[in-house]
Structure 1
Amino acid sequence: MIKRLLQLSDTFMPLLALLAYAPVIRKIQGKDRIIPLYLLITFLIMFLSNVMADRYINNSYLYHAYSLIELVFFSIYIRKLTGDSSSLIKFILPLYILIWITNLLFFESYLKFNSNSSGIAYLMLIIYSLNYFLFLSRSEEIMTFQKSPAFWIVSGFLFYSVLNVLIATIYKYTFELSPSDKNLVFNFSYVSNIIKFILIIIGVLWYPHKYRSG
């Protein structure tokens, strides 16, 4: 039962986070609308992925697509938060798209799990997250950072990305691991995903304070 819940956490956790937005969805504006849309797309992709897996249908192409979609949404969100037009931040997404296409064409086809492009995507999510925290440290918002929805949301992505860089690397060599070790690797991935959405939900719970203060 617990194992099955962990396996389905990539579907029901974004749904729970999306439901947490329900009381404030009409109040949030601009950049704050990016994450609910991301959650909806995440839920739909992961729901379809799990349905296909249950029917023994190859769903690897969904993970290829999701790595790109997630990075696109997060890059837009971070750039809206920071207003950062540095060459590094502007360069990340085009570079990743080039890597993503190259990997798909020459290394990991849509029929294989995208351990290369997903691992690189996590690294780029980390760079975006650290860029936000650098921006936060220089802003007045740092005095009340714990009340900032963005702080919790970005923290969720950072935790998830750091752990999954390691997991994506290990995944490439799971043929050398015992079945119990493989399960442990996947369980870490499930847990990191759950924690990401819990932190997003905590961020959502601070939106009423943000808009009341604003």
Structure 2
Amino acid sequence: MNNSVLAQIIRSDDTYMPLISLIIYLILWSDINRQEMMLLIYLVISIVFTAVTNVMSFYKMNNLALYHFYTLFETAFLSYYIIKQTANKVNLRWYILGVGVFFVFWLVNIFMWEPLNVYNSNTSCLSYLIVVACCMYYMLQLAKSDKILSFQKQPSFWIVSAFFVFSAASVLVFAVYRYYISLNMLEEAKSVYRIIHLAIVTKFIMLSVGLLCYKRQSSQQLLLL
């Protein structure tokens, strides 16, 4: 195995980490609430997307258009999922309005600032900020409920926290990255961007912990019986 292939495998943590979470999900299938079907869909789509983009990158093909569309999907999908975790019910009118505003910005960004052959840093940053806001709303509502007394046992706490940690880290990394790029400090920019790999690993470890919490809940229920 040559060094370029090995390096590509190491950088493919955005593919094998969600795959690990997916395997855990399937192993615990009978213990996981059916409301987490959205998380299953998210993991499958994430694996397919990152596998395709990594293969395209390996063969020097421009894959940046896919990132534009994935950002649109992730914003709409995760905001709905997290709000549903918070209230079990989503106000569709406000949700459609919010996603609609983001969609308009997404289109404007493509036609005016970052076309499909350029990485969509503007919409990515806004997307991460939206996810962070949704996660903070979840945390606020959790703090007001009785579940706060056993938050570390709540699957939703770990899952939402995974998205929060990754999104918050990504916003900071993009901000510093663009600052270094503006100063033409390319090596420093590349070094900072490597933090994303740590954020990816952390995200899916926390997602996996959240899924394992369902196994713990199922075991406790059996003991009570």
Q: Give the aligned residue type for 1:166.
A: L
Q: How far apart, CA to CA, are the structure 1 residues paired with 2:219 and 2:142?
A: 21
Q: Give the aligned residue type for 2:139.
A: F
TM-score (norm 1): 0.90
1:113-144 deviations in whole A, cap 9, x for unaligned? 00000000010010000011011111121111
Q: How far apart, CA to CA, are the structure 1 residues paired with 2:31 and 2:199?
A: 29
Match of 2:114 among 102, 108, 117: 108
Q: How far apart, CA to CA, are the structure 2 residues paired with 1:89 and 1:184?
A: 39
Q: How far apart, CA to CA, are the structure 1 residues paired with 2:192 and 2:93?
A: 32
Q: Give the aligned residue type for 2:58.
A: D
Match of 2:132 among 126, 131, 149: 126
Match in the other structure for 1:72: 76
Q: How far apart, CA to CA, are the structure 2 residues paired with 1:109 and 1:118?
A: 13
The offset of 1:73, in angstroms, is 1.9
Match in the other structure for 1:184: 191
Match of 2:205 among 198, 201, 210: 198
Q: Bigger radius of gyration, 1 or 2?
A: 2
Give the SS at the match of 1:22: helix
Cα contact 2:79–2:130 (8 A) shared by 1: no
Q: Give the aligned residue type for 2:85.
A: L
Change (3 A) 1:31 1:94: farther
Q: How far apart, CA to CA, are the structure 1 residues paired with 2:67 and 2:156?
A: 26
Cα contact 2:32–2:211 (8 A) shared by 1: no
Match of 1:59 among 54, 59, 63: 63
Match in the other structure for 1:92: 98
* Equivalent pairs, count: 214
The offset of 1:108, in angstroms, is 0.7
Q: Percent identity?
A: 30
Q: Give the aligned residue type for 1:103.
A: N
TM-score (norm 2): 0.86
Match of 2:25 among 21, 33, 39: 21
Cα contact 1:6–1:190 (8 A) shared by 2: no
Give the SS at the match of 1:112: coil
Give the SS at the match of 1:172: helix
- What is the correspondence of 1:145-184 to structure 2 with a 5 Å cutoff? 145-173=151-179, 174=181, 176-184=183-191
Give the SS at the match of 2:28: coil
Change (3 A) 1:87 1:25: closer
Q: CA RMSD in A?
A: 2.3
The offset of 1:27, in angstroms, is 3.9
Change (3 A) 1:192 1:206: same
2:135 counterpart of 1:135? no
Cα contact 2:159–2:206 (8 A) shared by 1: yes
Give the SS at the match of 1:150: helix
Give the SS at the match of 1:75: helix
The offset of 1:93, in angstroms, is 2.5
Q: How far apart, CA to CA, are the structure 1 residues paired with 2:162 and 2:33?
A: 21
Match in the other structure for 1:9: 13
Q: How far apart, CA to CA, are the structure 2 residues paired with 1:153 and 1:199?
A: 6
